[in-house]
Structure 1
Amino acid sequence: MKPVERFFRKYFLSMVGIIALFLLLNVVLFFSVLLWAWQTSETPEISISKICDSITLDETGHLTAAGVLDEILEEHHAWAMILDDTGTVIFQSKLPEELPRQYTAADVAKFSRWYLGDYPVYVREHPQGLLVVGGEKGSQAKYYFSVSESYARKLLVGLAAVFLTNIIVVVLLIWKNTRHVEKAVTPILRGIETVSSGQPVSLPEKGELAEINRQLNKAGAFIAKKDSARADWISGVSHDVRTPLSVILGFVGQLEEDQTLPISAREQASHIRRQGEKLRSLISDLNLTSRLEYSMQPLRMEKVYFVELARQVVCEFLDGGLEARYQIVFDSSQESETASIMGDEALLKRALYNLIQNSVIHNPKGCVISVSVAWNGNNTVITVSDNGIGVSAEKLDKLRATTNHLESTDERLKLRHGLGVLLVRQIVEAHHGTVEILSEPQRGYKTVLIFPDNEI
């Protein structure tokens, strides 16, 4: 998944998560309020069963109450009475004066569910009649309603449908808002990616984010102009230096072959020539890596066979007067003989040449350089290694980084690994390949180029 799509997917999911968290928080708050109200309210806890048990018949057949009855009623500011089958009060305790002592069946039906003279009442069957216990006025709120079972079911289904509809509407609104934001922000994010890759960007300067698009276009144009000026400057300097350098190398070559000069003078001329050739190679590498970095080097695509290409580079080194202290060993597997890609043969040769040349330059005491081509079923692997002095772990980390921009020479005008590795990486990546570097101090240096099959 691309970074832009991943960003908006996370944005949408985070908004849905916020809504879910909001609903959960409201549920928690609702039950918290219920719990708080229940714990802090003064709810009378009149024990109807104790009151019922405390009222009994004595030996004479009259209803009497135990002492616990008065304690319960006094504690809760309540009263109690028992009605017989005719609705007559046959027992009472703390019964308010304003309440009647005789009740009809209709009166009983009413207050058993509601109130009796604004007193909340509770009823319970007693062996001698109907026990009625009344609480203090305003101490209880009693409500009663009844609906049909069908209505109750439909009401619950309707409420659930309303709740789900609200959730769906909220999610759709979030999705719509996300799409709106994505439509406005995606060009900006893609523009940033384009600018970061060094490519020109042109965003429409309209809409809510027109000012940001305008500034991004301005930044992209400035970076492109700066990169172009830098590449042109490097190209111009390279050209200006190569011309006098060619003249110097021509005269030095004549001095080196002049037998009338002393041997020491001819040796000095030879040393100047070698350093001049290194400088010319360095200028060429600098110009090429600059053009690759700014995508100014067109690839001349043709079918390239890796084994044949590697053999040509090795032969050029061997035929070019390689000193005896250096040995080059070439090896290729049978499967790799037909391995090929569509690529720029000159650039690929340049990459292999730089790797071998680095091994020669950085091992002045000599070394064995191994070049191999292998096929692992999916990729062609070209390995260039030596058994020389290697590099330190710190230097290896720098070489593996992709930011070794234009690290070139030291005070002795010797090519470092930095520029050579950068150029090799640029060439390989232009062919959709990868570069791996392995090395330890005094244990050699190895570069592995991996080219995927049928990628070009």
Structure 2
Amino acid sequence: MKTFMRLIRRYVLLAVGLSLLLIVLALAFIVWLGVRFGVVWQNQFRYSYVEIADHLQQNAAGEFFFDERDTVYWMDGYEWAMVLDDDGKVVWQYQLPRELHRQYTASEIAVFSRWYLDDYPVFCQVRDYGLLVLGLPKDSVWKYNFWTYPDLIEWIFYRGSTLILGVLLLILMLCLLFSWRGAKSLRVVADGLDALAEGRTVQLTAKGFAGELAEKLNQTSAQIQYRNEIIQRRDNARTQWIAGVSHDIRTPLSLILGWAEQLQRDISLPENARHKAAGIQAQSEKIRALVEDLNLTSKLQYGAQPLRCEPVHAGPLLRRLVADFCNGPLAAQCQVELEVESSAETAELHADTALMARVFENILGNSVRHNSGPVCCMVTAEVQGKQLLVTFTDDGAGFPPAVLAVLHGETPADTAPHILGLHVVEQILHAHGGSAEFSQNKPRGSKVVLCLPVAS
């Protein structure tokens, strides 16, 4: 909902900002038009009709002339010109068209002085020598009268800022009104999105323009719920199947291990038979480890394996885990050394010791089972920052490239290698808030680095 309200605020601010921008652009455009046509007018006419009227002179003999320059210079841009006396008679002219009269009545002068004379736009100026009339080319200028009350002009001039502010406030109020109405309609949809993000079922009844969105959310919620039910049933079936198979295998596997051990110790049997019995026992141990890893990874994946974490010191815990492995059946094929730095000796962890024992068993057992001859394993522990780093190295053949590819997150192929034991290591570390990194040891062998958070 907070994100949605921020979106509404941004919409309102954007609408107000755009309105202000449009007003500023409109004012700038009006100013540009005034400057533009002012420049055009100045380029078209060298002098204004007021300046021409001021420079036109009449001597004592009644002759008209321009001071400083000739008539052609002053009349640049104008079509024609004439001067009327008090009786309306033309007393001076410049290129006056033939179709125009040479004398006008007072009413005719009143008409053309305001608009046009025979479709010629004209400008008039009254001087001592008479009425100067300057004509422009036809269709070059539009002339219309405009009038208004002085109070209105003064009000617009003095109250213009107040008017603009009022318009802006009106725009802001309209934006807020429409935004509030839109937010009210979309509030239900936003609540539905929050519920959907939290995994709850959504059933909205929004109306108006948000009704279609509400219906789509209802359909999406129904589909997600249906798929979640299918996934839940599939996961439950998978977990129950793995648990059932593990339980069913455990009893016959225990019998096989027991009989294989008896046959291996029976001195009445030939050496070859006892050797085969030892092989049966070793392979059965592998099967039992695989079944236990499969059952454990299934529980960790679906949260069915509770973590029984307790505060422990890293040094004693690591020595006990290494000692437990060295007391196991695989210790005869390897040599394990442990080095714990002083900083890691008293580092406190919150860990499930049983699961951590499985981590050590899987990592060290992987080094033993995947090397044909005896292997030397090295376990070191140190604290870096707030993390305990436990590093496992061996001098064996190292990880096959295909195994590393799967461990580093690449999509496994149909012929991907078996890494269930190492996958269990990753799951246990993630459950403890840590991580596991797998790489090759230099110059040879494999390397596994466990990162566990140290309790503050």
Report the TM-score, using the length of structure 2 for normalisation. 0.74
CA distance in 2 between partners of 1:359 and 1:389 (Å): 9
| Pairwise CA distance, 1:281 | 0.4
| Pairwise CA distance, 1:330 | 0.8
CA distance in 1 between partners of 2:448 and 2:125 (Å): 96
Task: Name stretches of at least 5 consecutive residues in structure 1 with no aligned partner.
Answer: 195-200, 411-415
Deviations 1:65-123 (A, max 9, x none): 7457788445xxxx4345789998653343744984769xx979x95xx6466864446
Within the alignment, does 1:355 sit opposite 2:363 as a pair?
Answer: yes
| Pairwise CA distance, 1:232 | 1.0
Instruction: Please name the residue that 2:433 is paired with.
Output: 432
Deviations 1:242-285 (A, max 9, x none): 22211211211111111111111110110111011011001000
Matches within 5 A, 1:69-148: 72-74=77-79, 79-82=80-83, 90-93=91-94, 94=96, 96-97=100-101, 100=104, 115=115, 120-122=121-123, 132-135=133-136, 136=138, 139-141=141-143, 143=146
Task: Name stretches of at least 5 consecutive residues in structure 2 with no aligned partner.
Answer: 206-213
Instruction: Please name the residue that 1:369 is paired with.
Output: 377
Match for 1:335 among 319, 343, 366?
A: 343
C-alpha root-mean-square deviation of aligned residues, in Å? 4.8
- Once the two structures are aligned, what percentage of the paired residues are identical? 30
Instruction: Please name the residue that 1:235 is paired with.
Output: 243
Report the TM-score, using the length of structure 1 for normalisation. 0.74
Aligned residues between the structures: 428
Instruction: Please name the residue that 1:203 is paired with.
Output: 201
Aligned pair in 2 of structure 1 residues 334, 165: CA closer, same or farther (>3 Å)? farther
Deviations 1:359-404 (A, max 9, x none): 2222333332222222224222222222332235554242022977
1:421 partner letter: L
CA distance in 2 between partners of 1:348 and 1:315 (Å): 13
Instruction: Please name the residue that 1:399 is paired with.
Output: 407
Please say if residues 204 and 213 of structure 1, whose CA atoms lie closer than 8 Å, have aligned partners that are also in contact.
yes
1:163 partner letter: L
CA distance in 1 between partners of 2:128 and 2:396 (Å): 112
Within the alignment, does 1:420 sit opposite 2:421 as a pair?
Answer: yes
Matches within 5 A, 1:26-425: 46-49=44-47, 62-63=63-64, 66=71, 72-74=77-79, 79-82=80-83, 90-93=91-94, 94=96, 96-97=100-101, 100=104, 115=115, 120-122=121-123, 132-135=133-136, 136=138, 139-141=141-143, 143=146, 151-163=156-168, 166=171, 169-170=174-175, 173=178, 177=182, 181=186, 184=189, 187-188=192-193, 191=196, 201-207=199-205, 208=214, 209-322=217-330, 326-391=334-399, 395-401=403-409, 416=418, 418-425=419-426
Moved more, 206-215 or 43-52: 43-52
2:221 partner letter: N
CA distance in 1 between partners of 2:161 and 2:170 (Å): 14
SS in 2 for 1:365: coil
Deviations 1:406-449 (A, max 9, x none): x9996xxxxx4x21222112111112222233326863322222
Please say if residues 260 and 281 of structure 2, whose CA atoms lie closer than 8 Å, have aligned partners that are also in contact.
yes
CA distance in 2 between partners of 1:335 and 1:176 (Å): 63
CA distance in 2 between partners of 1:422 and 1:297 (Å): 15
1:258 partner letter: D
Please say if residues 252 and 269 of structure 1, whose CA atoms lie closer than 8 Å, have aligned partners that are also in contact.
yes
Please say if residues 58 and 129 of structure 2, whose CA atoms lie closer than 8 Å, have aligned partners that are also in contact.
no
